Amino acid sequence: MTIAHRQPVIVGVGEVADRPEDLARALDPADLMAHALWAADRDAGGGMIAALDRLDIINEISWPYPDPCATVADRLGRPTLDARYHPVGGQTPTLLLHEAALAIARGEIDSAAICGGEAEDNVRRARRAGLALPWPDPIPDFRPVRGGDYQSPAARALELTSPVNVYPLYEAATRAAWGQTLDEAAAESATIWANNAAVARTRDTAWIKRKVTPAQILSPDDGNRLIASPYRKLMVANPIVNQGAAVILTSHARAIAMGVPEERLIYVHGGAAADEPRDILHRATFARSPAMDAVLTAAAGLARDGFDAVELYSCFPCVPKMARRVLDLAENAPLSVAGGLTFFGAPLNNYMTHAAVAMVERLRGGGIGLLYGQGEYVTKHHALVLGSAPATGPIADTIRCDIAAAPPPPLDQDHRGPATVETGTILYDREEAPRHGAVLLRTAEGRRVAARVEATDPSSLAVLAGEEIVGARGIVGPGPDGMPCWRAI
């Protein structure tokens, strides 16, 4: 096969985890990125950092630098390097790999690197100990723009601005749509998470490497408390890590010219992106994601004989559960090459860079793989296909997918009277006592109502925690703060 000289290939990957006993020696996020980039450079055989045309830096939260681009570029000894900093989003690494590959294919650049790093564990340890870290001064009172900033007042009033409170809405709605009992849904979640834990144990840079069984994932023991029903602590992303990762891409011609062995090259085949409405109350359904369906279907079309390895974003169980159904993968199929955001760790926006590292290492043994990342709350989706051999055609230049989605139901926060549950969850405090329930309802006319279930209404909370949450009937009345309040009947 003749390989186009502009064919984008991944030539080097690297990652690092920092567990210092002495916080005076702790690596800051910029150092984590630099160490990961140096490791990627060594993986490529050396000389790649000096030849970089562009550096894409994943949005970093744990230690906000006034100028992250200059900070990282200086650490690399490339102060004039074209470095770019990107918005918050768990799908961002996958998107940036795709965009860099397209820029290489078009001849706009010859090489690029993507990197990210977070040191949240070091930051929290220092705060608890009352120690000042010997790092550059961060931006004071920094507050990143996140998905909660795009939510309506009704969603904010219900605390549907934190991912751990939103993803359960998809969990309840999909369980009902798939005809699962609570036990069946929990067993599927536990199987996927235990499989991820087993993968994480094989990764040198994973944060949680102990053996975890499905029963332990579902057990309330050892501090595995409910956070938002039905999710316990071992089912949610773990951002308290110190991890960095990097990927270096170039053209096939430059890779060969720089002496990278052909068998170490991983080819970018293409991918797809799509978004759901950012305001969760403006979505048509919580029983599926049209954007997810579109990007995974497009990616599957690039792998005629299926994927040899997949990384399905795993911030919460509903995501890989939904994704595996789109791809027609078995419940016990391996759905992660890195180990998932609970056990490998969730360095905030940078997990998918680590997943790319793991995927490249896996595909150097041959095959074709899928990286599927997600941002905010089932909001921003990106899938990227990689292979140990070139694609049969040129990498597609179109990233965005067209989505055929039904219009969302109109929101009616003034409704008072009968309404049935569309989906919902219960939010718990650290002692596992209910704080309140959050429900999305439908009126007889098909309008949507976002309502609270008071912590003082145990019978209605029992409905939200039970088998038949979707379709449960009740009455909407005024709450003490004017927010609609739902009680089961």
Whether 200 shows a pLDDT value over 90: the answer reads yes
Closest CA to 487 of 158, 394, 476: 476
Whether 2 shows a pLDDT value over 60: the answer reads no
* pTM recorded for the entire structure: 0.97
Per-residue pLDDT of 399-422, as tens digits, reads: 999 887 789 999 999 999 999 999
Q: What are phi and psi of 363, to 5 degrees?
A: -80, -15
Per-residue pLDDT of 217-256, as tens digits, reads: 999 999 999 999 999 999 999 999 999 999 999 999 999 9
Largest CA distance in the chain: 73
Under the banding of pLDDT at 50, 70 and 90, the label for residue 331 is: confident
* HSE-up of residue 197 (Cα within 13 Å, Cβ side): 20
CB 49 within 8 A of CB 41: yes
Can you give the three-state secondary structure of the chain, one letter per residue?
A: CCCCCCCEEEEEEEEEECCCCCHHHCCCHHHHHHHHHHHHHHHCCCCHHHHCCEEEECCCCCCCCCCHHHHHHHHCCCCCCCEEECCCCCCHHHHHHHHHHHHHHCCCCCEEEEEEEEEHHHHHHHHHHCCCCCCCCCCCCCCCCCHHHHCCHHHHHCCCCCHHHHHHHHHHHHHHHHCCCHHHHHHHHHHHHHHHHHHHCCCCCCCCCCCCCHHHHHCCCCCCCEEECCEEHHHCCCCCCEEEEEEEEEEHHHHHHCCCCHHHCEEEEEEEEEECCCCHHHCCCCCCCHHHHHHHHHHHCCCCCCCCEEEECCCCCHHHHHHHHHHCCCCCCCCCCCCHHHHHCCCHHHHHHHHHHHHHHHHCCCCEEEEEEEECCCCEEEEEEEECCCCCCCCCCCCECCCCCCCCCCECCCCCEEEEEEEEEEEECCCCCEEEEEEEEECCCCCEEEEEEECCCHHHHHHHCCCCCCCCEEEEEECCCCCEEEEEC
Residue 337 CA from chain centroid, whole number:
14
According to DSSP, the β-strands at 111-119 and 434-442 are unpaired
Per-residue pLDDT of 120-134, as tens digits, reads: 999 999 999 999 999
- Superfamily of domain 8-134+239-387 in CATH is Thiolase/Chalcone synthase (3.40.47.10)
Instruction: Give the alpha-carbon dihedral of 367, 368, 374, 380, to 10 degrees.
Output: 170
| Amino acid code (one letter) for 354 | H
- pLDDT for 3 equals 67
In angstroms, the CA 62 to CA 64 distance is 6
Domain boundary assignment for the chain: 8-134+239-387, 417-488
Under the banding of pLDDT at 50, 70 and 90, the label for residue 270 is: very high
In angstroms, the CA 59 to CA 393 distance is 33
Per-residue pLDDT of 332-348, as tens digits, reads: 999 999 999 999 999 99
Burial class (CB in 10 A: 0-12, 13-18, 19+), 240: middle
For the domain 417-488, what is the CATH code?
A: 2.40.50.840
Under the banding of pLDDT at 50, 70 and 90, the label for residue 1 is: very low
- pLDDT for 473 equals 98
In angstroms, the CA 161 to CA 155 distance is 7
Per-residue pLDDT of 58-84, as tens digits, reads: 999 999 999 999 999 999 999 999 999
